[in-house]
Amino acid sequence: MGGTIVSVVLIVFLFVTLWKGVRIVPQGEEWVVERLGKYFKTLLPGLHVLVPYIDAVAYKVTTKDLILDIPEQEVITRDNAVLVTNAIAFVKVTDTQSAVYGVTNFQMAVMNLVQTSLRAIIGDMDLDQALSSRDQIKAKLKDSIADDVADWGLTLKSTEIQDIKPSPTMQKSMELQAAAERERKATVTRAEGDKQAAILEAEARLEAAKRDADAQVRLAEASAEAIRRIADGIGDRELPAYYLLGEKYVSAMKDMAAAPGSKTVLLPADLMKGLEALLGSKRS
C-alpha cells in the first residue's frame, strides 16, 4: 500500500516537472522567463525546455499589432473653445524585455501619453484650425510620442484621430452665433436694398422733375412760337391772344366735364365777346 502511494506521488511529481520544464510558445507571442526572480531570457515561438522550479514564465507578451482605443476627452483650444476628441493608436512590441520591465503597463502608458500630447497639440491651435487640420494633428501626435514609446520597446505604427468636434455646450453657442450672424447679414442686406430703392426713387423723381420742367419749357416755347406765327400771319396783336385764351378755356371746360360727379357743361355763346371784354378791361 505504501509503495503504491509513493508511486502515485512520483508520477504526479514527474508530470508536474515535465509541465513546468517543457513549454510551447504560440506564434505571435513572446514569453519572458525569470530565473530565481531575475530576468533570464525571452522565449520565441516554438518548443522550449526550462529548468523546473528554477525557471518561471513571468510575462506573456503579444507581438502582433495592438489597437489602443484612446478614450474621449475634452480639450481647450488657444481661443478657449472646448472640443471633444478621441483617437486610435497602433503599436507593436519590438523589445519584449523593455516592454515588461521599462514601464508598469505599456498599453496604459501609451494611452495616457497620447491623451496628454493630444491636449497639448490642440491647445496650441485656434478652433477653426483644430477642426480643419486633422491630418496635421495626426502627424504632430505621432512625432511627439514616437521617441517616448521607443524607450519602452514599442514601435508606434500610426495614430488616427477618430473624432474632433465641439462640445455640446460649445456647439450650442456656435449655433446661436451662426444664427445671429445670419440675422445680421439679412438685416444688412435689407438695409442695403432699402437704401438702393430710396436712391433709385429719388433719382426717378429728379429725372421726372427734369423732364416735366423740360416739357414746360418746350410747351412755353411752342406757345410763343404759335403766337408769333399767328401774329405774323394775320398782322393783328390781339387775335392770337384771343385764340390761345379760348383754347385754354375750352380745355378747362373739358376737364371739368370729365371730372367725377360733374354735370354737363355748356360753353357760352358769347365766348369771344367775353374774351374781348376781358382783354379790353386789362388794356384800360
**Spatial distance between the Cα atoms of 132 and 13, rounded to a whole number of angstroms:** 66
Greater model confidence, 33 or 264? 33
**Spatial distance between the Cα atoms of 24 and 17, rounded to a whole number of angstroms:** 15
All cell numbers assigned to 279: 382783354
Closest CA to 110 of 72, 143, 63, 154: 154
State residue 44's pLDDT score: 93
Q: Tens of pLDDT along 203-260? A: 888 888 888 888 877 877 777 776 676 666 655 555 566 666 666 666 766 666 666 6
* Partners of residue 43 on adjacent β-strands: 31
Closest CA to 245 of 271, 282, 219: 271
Q: Tens of pLDDT along 121-132? A: 999 998 888 888
Architecture of the domain spanning 66-166: 2-Layer Sandwich (3.30)
Asked if the model's pLDDT at residue 3 lies above 70, the reply is no
Q: Tens of pLDDT along 40-92? A: 999 999 998 888 888 889 999 999 999 999 999 988 888 888 889 999 999 99
- DSSP structure string for 104-122: S-HHHHHHHHHHHHHHHHH
